[in-house]
Amino acid sequence: MISIIPVRGLPEIREGDDLAAMVVALQELADGDVLVLAQKVVSKVEGRVIRIDSLEASAHAIELAADERDPREVEAVLREAKRIVRERGSLVIAETTHGFICASAGVDHSNAPEVGMLVLLPVDPDASARRVRDRVRELTGARVGVVVTDSFGRPFRQGTTDVAIGLAGIPPVLDLRGTTDRIGQELRSTRVAIADELAAAADLVRGKAEGVPAVVIRGLQLDGDGSARELVIEPELDLFS
Amino acid sequence: MISIIPVRGLPEIREGDDLAAMVVALQELADGDVLVLAQKVVSKVEGRVIRIDSLEASAHAIELAADERDPREVEAVLREAKRIVRERGSLVIAETTHGFICASAGVDHSNAPEVGMLVLLPVDPDASARRVRDRVRELTGARVGVVVTDSFGRPFRQGTTDVAIGLAGIPPVLDLRGTTDRIGQELRSTRVAIADELAAAADLVRGKAEGVPAVVIRGLQLDGDGSARELVIEPELDLFS
């Protein structure tokens, strides 16, 4: 059995906060636990927040924004994007500097510290995860996995699911190549995106207004390590897009 | 807290089996539980299994199969497909009759009853879910949700995650439009594909060789109903593809 435990009671997170210490003060962690953190709190700790009025919109941003969106917010999106994948009106699907493809290059005004601010994705979400993992170890002795998540839309299907954008202490993908079923045939799905499944599972307990940024998943034994960037598929291998 | 409980001990499933009765004999179910069933067992109960040697490969199937794959298996894929989305060698991404976009139109030889057989997706996975839900109610009085899942690859990201292809007694999508964060701003992700997140969460306990086709998710209170087909986005609204 697996338990998905919301960590309730975290205060509003500010730059420089010791997030690992705040979590372990509220929830005991044990070896093998996976701590799933919403990107927003990680970004806030790392100061990845900007004031909209500090931005000057470029001609491209003004054109995209039209009358639908603050052109300075679109400017932030363009600055965070390595490549624009799709544009429809003011909606921009972009590849982030990390290689993730998502709406607005991950830039978002919701759950910002104050009105008039935007939250950006962490610069290196794997490094963010490693820092939290190491700090938990230091504070408690527990060897945990850490996943940093965001809510992404996806092709072909409605709605968002939470996915992994950073990780430490767990493998991004379970490789089952060579595993056979009970009649000896190889499985069709031999590479399971376990980090994305952990992210989605954690979202089930977050609650409506994203009031629960930290979630513990207990009961899995996941060996391995890696980077959430391994979840990005090279375009030439991507059969689906 | 949410619990994800594997239902261990199910025998090999055959056509006509009373799957709901087999599950409730092994695992007590209560109001609000969500029973997540791998598509394979649902298809087997419904007789959605064919012998490869009953198929005659068309010219198109022979061409696609080349020397990489049994052309009769490719023939089964073509028959299950409403539309071919991508072809690369013998790999086919197809839109199923239900509207889902996945590898091989959901046709698979792994976990078939015997070598030489293929398992197809249920004809109407929502109806399959409703039948199991109603039968659980009849047997136990419990009002449960049911999700039928399959492992799908997806664009942009490596690996598969389990998604919902049929459901009953839960909503496919949580609509949070109008919900605000603690500073009063609307959330960016206002439509959460909750059925897909339940599917992904259940996959965490399935184990490597898909030996656990039934999983119970306990501790959520999900009101509503609908169809997994609501998870399919109309191409003209699909910003991502």
Inter-chain contact B101–A156, Cβ cutoff 8 Å? yes
Q: Give me the total of CB pairs closer than 8 Å, taking one residue from chain A and one from chain B.
A: 249
Amino acid at A11: P
Q: How far apart are CA A111 and CA B2, in angstroms?
A: 24
Nearest CB among A108, A184, A200 relative to B188 is that of: A108
Does the CA dihedral A128-A131-A135-A141 come out positive or negative? Answer: positive
What tens digit of pLDDT does each residue of B34-69 get?
A: 999 999 999 999 999 999 999 999 999 999 998 889
Nearest CB among B109, B183, B193 relative to A115 is that of: B183
| pLDDT exceeds 60 at position A64 | yes
* Range with lowest mean pLDDT among A173-182, A211-220, B69-78, B156-165: A173-182
Residue percentage of chain B with pLDDT more than 70: 98
Is-contact A160 A151, C-beta < 8 A?
A: yes
pLDDT of residue B125: 98
Residue percentage of chain A with pLDDT more than 90: 80
Going from the C-alpha of A216 to that of each of A112, B35, B80, B216, the distances in angstroms are 23, 22, 40, 19
Q: Which chain A residue shows the shortest CA-CA distance from B92?
A: A239
pLDDT of residue A208: 61
Q: Which chain A residue shows the shortest CA-CA distance from B185?
A: A110
Q: How far apart are CA B28 and CA B142, in angstroms?
A: 9
| pLDDT exceeds 90 at position B176 | no
Q: Confidence band (pLDDT; 50, 70, 90) for A188?
A: low
Inter-chain contact B158–A172, Cβ cutoff 8 Å? yes
Q: Which chain A residue shows the shortest CA-CA distance from B8?
A: A1
> What's the whole-number average pLDDT of chain A?
93
Is-contact B200 B215, C-beta < 8 A?
A: no
pLDDT of residue B235: 85
Is-contact A15 A50, C-beta < 8 A?
A: no
pLDDT of residue A235: 85
Inter-chain contact B182–A211, Cβ cutoff 8 Å? yes
What is the third-level CATH fold of A3-47+122-235?
Answer: 60s Ribosomal Protein L30; Chain: A; (3.30.1330)
Q: Confidence band (pLDDT; 50, 70, 90) for B188?
A: low
Nearest CB among B3, B114, B200 relative to A197 is that of: B200
Q: How far apart are CA B151 and CA A181, in angstroms?
A: 15
Overall CATH class of domain A49-119: alpha beta
pLDDT of residue B192: 94
Inter-chain contact A1–B205, Cβ cutoff 8 Å? yes
What tens digit of pLDDT does each residue of A67-90 get?
A: 889 999 999 999 999 999 998 888
Nearest CB among A88, A181, A220 relative to B111 is that of: A181
Smallest CA–CA distance, residue B101 to chain A, in Å, is 7
Determine the average pLDDT of the residues in A214-224: 95
Amino acid at B227: S
Smallest CA–CA distance, residue B150 to chain A, in Å, is 10
* Cβ-based burial of A238 (10 A; exposed 0-12, middle 13-18, buried ≥19): middle
Is-contact A233 B156, C-beta < 8 A?
A: yes
Is-contact B168 B126, C-beta < 8 A?
A: yes
| pLDDT exceeds 80 at position B137 | yes
Determine the average pLDDT of the residues in B93-118: 93
| pLDDT exceeds 60 at position A209 | no
More confident residue, B211 or B95: B95
Of residues B94, B4, B129, B113, the one with CA closest to residue B48: B113
> What's the whole-number average pLDDT of chain B?
93
Inter-chain contact A189–B1, Cβ cutoff 8 Å? no
| pLDDT exceeds 70 at position A163 | yes
Q: How big is chain B, counted in residues?
A: 241
Homologous superfamily of the B3-48+122-235 domain (CATH) = CofE-like (3.30.1330.100)
Of residues B71, B78, B72, B116, the one with CA closest to residue B97: B78
| pLDDT exceeds 90 at position A136 | yes
Where in chain A are the domains?
A: 3-47+122-235, 49-119
Structure tokens at A40: 């927003």
At B169 the three-state DSSP class reads coil
| pLDDT exceeds 80 at position B161 | yes
